Amino acid sequence: MTRTPISRKKASIITTTNPRQKSLKRSAEHARAAQRRRVLAAKKVLPWQALVDWKKITELSPKNIQRLTVVASLLIVIGLVLSIYSWLLKPTNLTIKQVDIQGQFHYINPEQLGVQIKPYTDTNLFLLDEVGLEQFLEQQSWIRAASLRKIWPNRLEILLEEQVPVAFWGKDQLLNQYGEIFTGNLLEKQGIFPYLYSPSENGRELAERYVELTRLLSNLSLEISELTEDAAGSWAIRFKDGPEVIIGRKDYEKRLSRLKVGYVQALKDKFSQIRSIDLRYTNGFAVEWKQIPTSFLGSDISKRIGS
């Protein structure tokens, strides 16, 4: 009897899922995902944490920690300085509240000058144009020198040196005590200050000559009112209420000595009648009279001085 082999077929396994189990599975997955997000959020690196590994810092030596502290302090200071600098760049911040103009003044009006410098002082001390303000002040006729002093936070001191005039220089200028020429008008000193002038504008040299000539004639009752030098270098003086005296370019001491002798011996009482005296002679000098006195003509002294 023949037996037919039994055919073994794989049984198909059909799995059916309960909807409730499906829902529970999804909920579990969502819970795990939420847990993972919470862990990642807890481990999230902040921007400032990205620059510093605090775990490594705790492992640093005290010396390295000290260095880091110094660097951090410097960064804080730099930030503070930059913020202050940015604030001071605005002219309306910490403006100058007080301007003190100091010095000994005879010709300068401090109040008027304070108004003139307002375009410079309407700011703060940080933005103040010191060079420009000093130049403006020293361009004023009666100011010889100016210096500034900042007193923080909002006070400015201006120290001025006023010109001290000692002589007129030409028609519209003056000479100070240092022999420096400056522009100025001083009508009230007409007839009081001497008149000096040289085309070379060497005021100091001519002022020194004036002082020297005054010394040489100090024993006479004469006052020099003018001292001038022409383009050829020839000097001439004029006495107050008296004549012009042409000295020339050289031997001025010898020539003035002859003038002193002639003045004492014969010219003293008639000095106001003389128009000019020319000392540019070897052994005497020439006198030009406004009107020659009859008592003087033919006298021995007139022959000696060449009248």
pTM of this structure: 0.68
Determine the pLDDT at residue 13. Answer: 45
Q: What is the DSSP letter of 14?
A: -
Rg of the chain over CA atoms, in angstroms?
50
Upper half-sphere CA count for residue 36 (Cβ side, 13 Å): 6
Comparing CA positions, the residue from 109, 48, 96 lying closest to residue 75 is: 48
pLDDT at 64: 74
Tokens representing 67? Answer: 């260095």
pLDDT for position 1: 47
Going from the C-alpha of 248 to that of each of 24, 80, 201, 225, 231, the distances in angstroms are 130, 73, 18, 18, 12
Alpha carbon distance 153, 161 (integer Å): 26
Asked whether 246 and 258 are in contact (CB, 8 A), the reply is no
- Separation between Cα atoms, residue 152 and residue 154, nearest integer Å: 5
Instruction: From first to last of the 307 residues of the chain, give the pLDDT tens digit.
Output: 455 554 454 444 445 556 666 666 677 777 777 776 776 566 555 555 555 555 565 666 777 777 778 887 888 888 878 777 777 788 888 899 999 999 999 999 999 999 999 999 999 999 999 999 999 999 999 999 999 999 999 999 999 999 999 999 988 899 999 999 999 889 899 989 999 999 988 899 999 999 999 999 999 989 999 999 999 999 999 999 999 999 999 899 999 999 999 999 999 998 999 999 999 998 899 999 988 766 655 555 554 554 4
Tell which residue, 98, 192, 178, has the closest CA to residue 145: 178
Coil/strand/helix, residue 95: strand
